[in-house]
Amino acid sequence: MPTEPPSVQLLTILDEGWCNAPAERVAALLCDCGASCALLPSARARTQREDDRAQRGESGHRQGLSSGDEAHKNEVRALLASLQEAGIAVLLGEDARMAKKLGADGVHLDLAAAGEAAAIAAYDGARAVLGAGAIVGVGVGLSRHNAMVLGERGADYVAFGNGAQGGLKGDRAALAEACERIAWWAELFVVPGIAWGVRTRDAARAFVEAGAEWIAVNLVGCLGRGTGFDEAAAHLRALAGVVRTREGGAP
């Protein structure tokens, strides 16, 4: 790992393609890119994605708990152990109980579509399961109100994005709106703000300029389905280069 962490921290959002790859190889890549944290998919998140694909008429079907879900847990467990051994914090998506069972460092909750009461209930529930020492981070879409409510309630970070599942849309207007939220948060609040779902160098550079303390790069779909490890690694290295060298300029 780098001897000194970059001023802007890097979080990697991974999916099953990365969990299927050799765990030691993934951990070595993330270390080389300076990643401080990784988000791994839970079986719950995987099931939701399969349901979404089914609704769109795409091929594939949900496997039973005894086969697909158990195999997925084993893959996540292996990658989680390798990442933690390398000094990278590991979060699990959505499922606080599974995060605790697998020994993850915490959980990320996508609350972009939640109202205030539902967001509070989800956060409080995860905190009750994991305890005060674990990481409970929240995605709030672009909601200033929920960001402030959950930040005051004790969330370890607030993630801003404006696409599906709190990610980032690719058009310039949407990017500018998300950057405005990051700049506003960084100026007023102590709780770390994360630019969530970044896929391009231009977006990463814009968020660095806006004052983001963390960049969460979206690597979902980058590995597998015809894309090899070397190609996916090159994509991550390109994004990480913006964060590590601060090509976007000092925030």
Domain residue limits, the chain: 9-245
Q: Which fold has domain 9-245?
A: TIM Barrel (3.20.20)
Rounded Cα–Cα distance for residues 151 and 23 (Å): 33
Residue, of 233 and 54, whose pLDDT is higher:
233
Residue 14: band (very low, low, confident or very high) from pLDDT cuts 50, 70, 90: very high
Rounded Cα–Cα distance for residues 160 and 167 (Å): 8
Helices (H) and strands (E) in the chain, counts: 10, 8
How does pLDDT run across 149-206, given as a tens digit for each residue? 999 999 999 999 876 555 666 678 888 999 999 999 999 999 999 999 999 999 999 9
How does pLDDT run across 43-86, given as a tens digit for each residue? 765 545 454 444 545 544 444 334 567 888 899 999 999 999 99
pLDDT of res. 63: 40
DSSP-derived secondary structure letter, 93: E
